[in-house]
Amino acid sequence: MLSREVSDVSAKPRVATASLCGCFGCHTSLLDIDERILQLVDLVDFDRSPLTDIKTVGDCDLGLIEGGVANTENLEVLRAFRRHCRTLVAVGACAVNGGVPAMRNALALRECLEESYVRGVGVYHPGIPRDPEIPLLLDRVHPIHEVVKVDYVLPGCPPSADTLWTFLTAWLSGQPIAFPYTQIHYD
């Protein structure tokens, strides 16, 4: 079972989070821990995260990834997290198995893009965008464990605030991670 390995015992563990191809629901769930967030802020330092606005991930003890891998940017961020985080956690259905975005996998990429940018309702200037600034799409949306090694998995769409809290407190205290029945669900 995974236990916390912190580089510098005196420092607070650093935690980074990112949302790849997800809906920010898992992050919202994290905020749903309500007043416990104050405890959390006392216990950890946040590195890159939508909660901090730090844009690049530094060396961290824990990385939480929401969302699957759908484009080149997702790939880059995920790999950077894997390089910098001692423990990487797949948070939520999309990170775990692709989730709802992976429902596009039933279609070829051309169909998806044409539906959105060519034939779709309300499209004014039909044409698949080619701007090099836009991350390229992968032909399918993949769960993150198909790209990098994942150390722990928190299923749910999203995992409930309690599930996240159970995980975080166990991880912080170095206890084995165990959930009550109602905290593990895939939806």
Partner 1 sequence: MSTTLSLDGRPIPFTPGQTIMDAALAAGIYIPHLCHNPDYAPHGSCRVCMVGVGGRLVSACTTAALDGMTVESNTETIQSTRRSIVQMLFVEGNHVCPACERSGSCQLQAVAYYVGMLSPHFPQFFPQRPVDASHPDFMIDFNRCILCELCVRASRDHDHKRVFAVSGRGLASHLVIDSPSGLLGDSHFAASDRAAQVCPTGAILPKHRGYEQPIGQRLYDQAPISVVGDLRAQPGGE
Partner 2 sequence: MGEPVDSKVQAFVARSLGLYGQAPEYLLQHLIAVQQQFGWVPPTAVDALAAALDVAHAQVRGAVAFYAFLHDQPRGDFDILFSDNITDRMLGNQRLVGLLAERLGLGLDAPRADGRVTIGLTSCTGMCDQGPALLVNGQAVTALTAARVDRIADLVEEGVPLERWPGAFFRVEDNIRRRGLLLSNPATDGASLRRLLDGGADAALAELERSGLRGRGGAGFTTALKWRFCREAEGGDRTVPRFVVCNADEGEPGTFKDRVLLTSYTDLVFEGMTLCAGVIGARLGFLYLRGEYRYLVPHLESVLARRRAEGLLGKDILGQQGFDFDIAIHLGAGAYICGEESALIESLEGKRGVTRKRPPFPVISGYQDRPTVVNNVETFLAAARVVQWGGYWLRGEGTDQSAGSKILSVSGDCARPGIYEYPFGTPVHRVLTDCGAEEVQAVQVSGAAGTTLAPAEFDRLLAFEDLPTAGSFMIFDRSRDLLDLVRNFAAFFAHESCGFCTPCRVGTALLRNLVEKVAAGQASAHDLQELRDIGAVMRQTSYCGLGHTAPNHVLNTLDKFPAIYRRRLRSADYSPSFDLDAALASARALTGRDGVADHVEEEA
Q: Using CB under 8 A, which residues numbered 109 to 148 contact partner 2?
A: 109-110, 113, 128-130, 132, 136-140, 142, 146-148
Alpha carbon 102 to its chain's center = 15
Q: How far from 68 is each of 139, 147, 177, CA to CA, in Å?
A: 13, 10, 24
149 binds, among partner 2, partner 1, none (CB under 5 to 8 A by kind): partner 2
Question: d(Cα 45, Cα 47) in Å, to the nearest integer?
Answer: 6
> From the list 7, 52, 72, 175, which residue makes contact with partner 2 (rule: CB under 8 A)?
72
Residue 86, φ and ψ in degrees, nearest 5: -65, -40
Instruction: Tell me which residue has tokens 């749910």.
Output: 156
109 binds, among partner 2, partner 1, none (CB under 5 to 8 A by kind): partner 2
Q: For residues 130 and 160, is the Cβ–Cβ distance under 8 A?
A: no
Smallest distance from the beta carbon of 155 to partner 1, in angstroms? 6
65 binds, among partner 2, partner 1, none (CB under 5 to 8 A by kind): none
Smallest distance from the beta carbon of 55 to partner 1, in angstroms? 28
**Around Cβ 40, how many Cβ atoms within 10 Å?**
17
72 binds, among partner 1, partner 2, none (CB under 5 to 8 A by kind): partner 2
Smallest distance from the beta carbon of 49 to partner 2, in angstroms? 23
